[in-house]
Structure 1
Amino acid sequence: MKPVSFWRDLTPIFIICLLIVGITSLFSLTWLGLLVCIAVLLWRLSGHYRELNHFALWISNPTSKNVPSGHGVWTDIFAKLYALRRNDESNEAQLAEWLARFQNTMSHLPDGVVLMDKSAYLEWCNPVAEQHFRFSLLRDKGNRVVNLVREPALVQYIQAGLYDAPTKIEYLNRQLELTLIEFEEDRMILVSRDITETEKVDAMRRDFIANASHELRTPLTVISGFLEYALDAGDIAPEERVRQIELMHKQAEHMTVLVQDMLMLSRLESDVKVDDVTINMTELLNQQLGQAVALSNGQHQFITHIDPINLNGSVQEIASVVTNLLSNAVRYTPNGGEIHLTWQTIDNQPTLSIRDTGQGIAPEHLPRLTERFYRVNKDQSRASKGTGLGLAIVKHVLIRHQAELKIDSKVGEGTTFTAIFPHSRLAK
C-alpha cells in the first residue's frame, strides 16, 4: 500500500499563491496578494478541518460501510482506511466463526471444559462443566472458580498448578477426574470427567474377584484338608473315609455349580444375540416346578396359575430364570410356607410372578439384590448352598429379553419377584 502524499495536495496551493503574489506585485498591490493567499490557505485549512471532523465521527463507529468519501488527499486516506477496515472485518468474522465452532465442539464433548485465566477467573465453560460444578456461565463469568466451587481438593489442585497431572475428587455426590492443562501464557483449561459409574464398576469388579476367590477357596480348603489328612494318616477307617469322600464330593459339586454360574454370567454379558424360539411355557414351568417340589421335599405348599401363553426367547435362559427364582423361594421359605407361581398377561404383557411367604427382605437390601455375590444373610445363604449369583443371572437374562424385574418384599410377610416381558415377546 503506497503512502499518502501531502505534496500532491499542497503543491497547487503554493503555485496559486505565488502567482497571485507575483501578479499583484506588478501593480504594487503585494499586500492584496498576501491577503488573498491567506484567504486561500484558510479556506483549505477549513476543508482539512471538516475532513478531520468526519474522521473523528467515523472513529466512534469504525465500519467499512460508513467510511467518508473525502476530498483531495483525504480521498486516499479514507480509501486506505476502508481497505484496512474491510481486512479487519474479514479477520474478525473468521475468528468469530472459529470461536463459535470451537465453543460448539466443546459444548458437545462428554467431558467438562472450563477456560480460565491464571488467577482462576472463569472465562468460559461448556454445559457439562456447568452440570459438574453447578456453574452458570451467564451468572458466574468473571468470578473465581475457587470461590464458586468450595471443595478444598479442587482449590488446592488449581492453586498448585499441577498441569497434566490428573487427580480425583468427590463433589456433589459424583466422582470426578480432573486434568489441568496450560493454555497460552495467561490461561489454563480444567477438564472434568464423571467417573462415578466407572468407579462403581471397578468396585463391583473388585468385589466380584474377592467374593469369587472366597467362594472357591472354601471348598478347596475342605478338599485339600481331607487329602492332606489322608496322606498323613495312612490307614483310615472305612466309615471315616466314606464320610470324607462324601464331604469332598459335595464341596466339588458346589464348586462346579459356582463355576457354571460364573461362566453363564460371562456368556450373558458378552453374547448379545438371543436365540429366539417359541417356548412352550406351560411345559417349561411344570418341568421347573417338578424340580422345585423335589428340592422342597414336601416341606412347602405350591400354588400355581399358568395360562396357556407361549413366549419367544431362549429356552435355556428363561429356564434359568424360573429355576433361580423358585429355588430361592424354596431356600428362604420356612417349612410349611407357601410358594405361588403365576404366569399370565397383565396389560397385554407376559408376566411371571413367584411369591413366597418367607422372611421377607428389608428395604435397604432390595436395590442390591441382583449384584453378584450380594447376600442379605451370608450365613443363611451359605447354609442353603446358594452361589450368590442366581439373581444376577436373572437380571442379565431379563435384560437380554427386554424384560423388567420388580421385587416387592415386606419383612415377616414374604417376597414377590415379578418378571414383566414386552408384548413383542408374545408368541403368535
Structure 2
Amino acid sequence: MTPVWRRELRRILYLLILAVGCGYYYFGKPLEALCLMMGIYISWQWLQLYRLHRWLDQGQTTVLPRTLGIWGSIFTENQRLQQSSIKHQQRLQAIINRIQDSTAALQDSVLMVDATGALEFWNQAAQNYLGLRSPVDIGQPITNLIRTPEFKAYFDKADYREPLTIRSPINPRIYLQFNITLFGRKDRLILVHDVTRLKQLEEMRKDFVANVSHELRTPLTVISGYVETMQAASEMLPPRWGRMLQQMSEQSHRMENLLKDLLMLSRLETGENEQAQPVALQPLLEAIRRDAASLSSNKHTLSLSIDHDQKLMGFYNELRSAFSNLVFNAVKYTPEGGHVKLHWYSEGGKGYFSVTDNGIGIAHHHIPRLTERFYRADPSRSIATGGTGLGLAIVKHVLLHHDGELQISSEEGKGSTFTCVFPGSRLSDTSAPGQ
C-alpha cells in the first residue's frame, strides 16, 4: 500500500474516532454523530469527484483545483499524465509531419489503402499521375478512381509478387508501374513509378532488333549464296581457298540462325501471331525426337514417353521452336553415349513436358540467368556447338505466351531437367468430342 493511501486511511480513522468521541461526550449519541460524519465525508468525496470531472472535461483551460488528501495526488497525477500525453502527441505529430513532408517531396507516388480498398493517404505525385483530389477522394475505393480493368484485376487478385505496368488514367502517354505491399490487417502500401522512359527504351530496342534483323537477312542471303556457289566450284579455285570458304559458310549459317532467333523473339514480344489452335502433342513430339536423332547421328539414346494423348491450345510453330530448343540443347551438351529422355505427362490439373539428360549439367549459380538473352553458362562450349545464346530466351517467351513457366533443375556432372509447365485450361484430350 502506498504512503498516500496509508495517510488517507489514518485520516478516515481519526475522523471516525473524533466523531464518536464528540457525539458521546457532548450529545450522548455516538452513533448519530458517526453517521453525520460519514455523510459529510461522502459529500466531500462527491464534490471532489465532480471537480475532477469538470477539470478533465475542460482540459488544460482551467487551473488545477487545490484539495487535500488522496484527491490532491489524483489531480496532480492526472495533470502529469495529461502533460506527458500532450508531449507524446506533439512528438508523434512531428514525426507524421516529417513523413508527410518527405513523401510529398518524392517524385514517385505513395498511397495508403485500408483493408476495404478505401484511400487513406497519398502524396502530391499521386495527384499528378493519377488525378486524385483532396479531400474529396479520401475514403473512396481506389478501384473507383483508377478504373483500368488491368489494375482492378491486379488489385483484387492480391498477388503482388510482380509489379503491374499500365498507362496513366489521366495521361495515356505516361506508363506507370504499380508495386503493392500488404501490411497490418491487409492494408496496402502502393508505390507508383513513372516508367515511361524505360518503356520507350524497350520499344526502341525491340524495333531496333526487328529492323536490323530484317535488314541483314537480304545481304546475308546473298553472301551465303555466293559462298555456296564458290564451294560448288571449289575444284576450279586454289586449294587454300577451301578452308576459307568452309569457315565463311559456317559463320554465315550461324548468323542466319541468330537472325532467325532474333526475329522469333521479336514476333513473340510484339504479339504478331495467328489465332491459337489445338496442337496435337504426340505427332509434334515424335517429329522433334526424329529431328534430335538426326542431329545426334546415333551418338545418343533418345526416348519419348507420352502418358496422356492430349492437345495443347496454342501456336504450333512457337511450341515446336521451344520444345526443339530444349531437346537440341540436351543433345548438344550431352557427351556421346548419353541418354536424353522426352516425357509428356499430366499432374495436378497441369500439363508437363520435361527433357532430361545425363550430360555435363549446369552450376547452380547459372540457373537463374539461363533464360537471359545471350547468356551462356560456358561460352567456349556454346561457340563450339554453334549456339546463339537465344534458345532459352525463346523458350521463356513462348511459355509466357502460353501462360506457362519453365522449371530448371541441374547438377554438374550428373545432367539436367528442363520442364515446361502449362495450365490445365489449355489442355484437352484427343478423345474428347469435337477434338
Normalised by the length of structure 2, the TM-score is 0.48
